[in-house]
A = this chain, B = another copy of it.
């Protein structure tokens, strides 16, 4: 809804030819969808089977080394074009490098999905518009993996990842086509603002690019009720007193104002956009300056506590990945709504993928979810070469200018895991220094991180059970990071989803090498990931069938994730973020760390995580997942409060449930709990009873008068004498 006020789309038919190289002459044409991806067009024309099933995706191998020529006729029916209108060709982005020709004459050479073209064709002589897509960039001499993407802004994820097949799309993105536009129009506009330190007023500057005859442009600012609260002139400053601030959904209202730009000749606005006013900072936690304390002394850890409008937040969220293998105009709103329902207040848009569309940011603005936006660098050593830096800085400038006015933007970040051994970039890398520079020049009010993780922050673990025999509860209770910005617990997709992606003859037992491996059940991170059959066997013995495997794997994932999110919250304010890897999937994964199966189907873990992220909860710090009958069970009981309200005293009843039996352990009468504070309560102790009907027991925390704060944990229980194994599939309350 942001942008030009009145335009009319003028659809044309597009055709596509596959070329062996950019010099080749087309020998045949197929219909093309625009915007779209040549691989989809080609597959449709060839009648290829569903790429999401079995190993069909491998049919696409090598297509990316072709050049592709799009063409369409320029609509020159003059009668359509009234005197005060222009016919304009818009191109919202190219994936990844294209030459645009009008009537055989090159009018643009574009690189990347942030590049834009707006070309007035009203009086242009050309009849045919052609777009020549180059083969995808592949860094010379690199093997067929993500390192081929190490000198380009094309997203590295397409070159193959542990949850993304190697599938390197090409195409046209964003808005593409011919449009009738008013002759007098704004072609681009932006608003910058500066909140006073005490938030009592905000200074605004509105800028606009317009057609030459647009005259002096004025603007109006309307509050959420539609009342005009401020007027100004484009290019000059104006001050709004007592602005209503933009907040995340869990801390207030995501207040948006509407800004309209008017020309003297037109009663209707010729441009409009939503804006919100917020101040985001990275600040130190309360004890952040205490260390280092001993000599020789290094620096204190860099800040990663996100402060919104002066209030430090505990950030609960997730890592968003592409929702499709092709860049697509897919509406992310279902994903964003699921994030909101999980009580998440931030989404990390990771550097392996392309930056989301403006529609995505508008939805986050509206729903009240922050966005951590990375530049397209991930897990590679991106060079200091002039060619790469030129492509990167051009891309970054466009991205920052497109996104900076969105109140949901919380953080710019250079990219993913660049300062680790598998990437080997450093603080001295010119690419990251340039990104820091561009963010400083174009958006100084938004924090910048060179990469994640920085010192103090943690990525991983991505295993329920590590090589030292420690489960996730132990791993995170032993950790003391300032932010957990990636961590994973793998879990399989549903039986139904697996039955769709794995052909019947491969379905059971799962084996490496075939469709299970193509869909990341094996050979993903390490050979055994992400099905992790060894871990399932460690806890439960061999899986007899698909249904049992799925139930057990989803159980581990659900309780593992619950444990990590709650532990991170218990570590507040020293720790201020918990973002799991990852929220969703670009295609069907047999098993993955995701909370949602493709396209956005919640796994059981989605529900345990959303329980763990409720604003106020009772929480148990449980030392491990699996117990034996007769063990002395123990757990610390806590109350966690992420709200800014103080909670009055109350009572919590703690009990164990095993089969039909229920054992009350203690009642904790807790005192008042401060705003944004945790309270550690007593520890429970009991000897675990003998197994009766099930292989699990449930620790229940019942909060008197507040059932919405109850928590329960489903843990593994095995007979005293038996080896680790369980006879029956476990389906506790997780599956709903």
Contacts and interface: CB of A to CB of B under 8 A. Distances in A.
Interface of A: 281-282, 284, 289-290, 295-300, 302-303, 419-421, 424, 426-428, 430, 433-434, 436-437, 440-441, 444, 447-449, 451, 453-462, 466, 475-476, 479, 481, 484, 487
Contact of A444 (B296, B427, B430, B448): B430
A284 B426 contact: yes
Nearest to A441: B437
The 8 closest A-B pairs by CB, nearest first: A296-B458, A295-B461, A289-B421, A295-B460, A299-B419, A437-B437, A433-B440, A302-B427
14 contacts: A282-B426, A284-B424, A284-B426, A295-B466, A296-B487, A299-B454, A299-B455, A299-B457, A300-B419, A428-B447, A430-B440, A433-B444, A433-B448, A437-B437
A466 B296 CA distance: 11
Contact of A437 (B426, B436, B475, B484): B436
A458 B295 CA distance: 7
A400 to B, nearest CB: 14
Contacts of A457: 298-299
A130 B444 CA distance: 40
A448 B428 contact: yes
Contacts of A456: 298
Contacts of A441: 437
Contacts of A444: 430, 433
B299 A453 contact: yes
A481 B419 CA distance: 18
Given A295-B461, A419-B300, A455-B298, A428 B476 contact: no
Contact of A289 (B298, B424, B449, B475): B424
Contacts of A437: 436-437, 440-441
Given A433-B440, A436-B437, A296 B460 contact: yes
A422 B290 CA distance: 10
Given A281-B428, A424-B289, A299 B481 contact: no
A297 B458 contact: yes
A296 B448 contact: no
Contacts of A476: 296
A458 B481 CA distance: 21
A298 B430 contact: no
Nearest to A457: B298
Nearest to A389: B444
Contacts of A430: 440, 444
Contact of A298 (B424, B426, B462, B481): B481
A502 to B, nearest CB: 30
Nearest to A480: B296
Contacts of A481: 296, 298
Indicate the member of A428, A441, A444, A451 with the most B CB atoms within 10 Å: A428
Indicate the member of A433, A447, A466 with the most B CB atoms within 10 Å: A433
Contact of A426 (B295, B303, B421, B451): B303
A433 B302 CA distance: 14
A381 to B, nearest CB: 11
Given A289-B424, A434-B440, 9 more contacts: A295-B458, A295-B460, A295-B475, A296-B460, A297-B453, A298-B457, A298-B458, A299-B457, A428-B448
A419 B302 contact: yes
A417 B420 CA distance: 25
A320 to B, nearest CB: 20
A282 B420 CA distance: 16
Contacts of A448: 428, 433
A622 to B, nearest CB: 19
Contacts of A290: 421
A456 B296 CA distance: 10
Nearest to A485: B296
Contact of A296 (B295, B433, B459): B459
Nearest to A437: B437
Nearest to A454: B299
A297 B459 contact: yes
Contacts of A298: 453-459, 481
Contacts of A453: 296-299
Contacts of A462: 295
Contacts of A461: 295-296
A427 B601 CA distance: 39
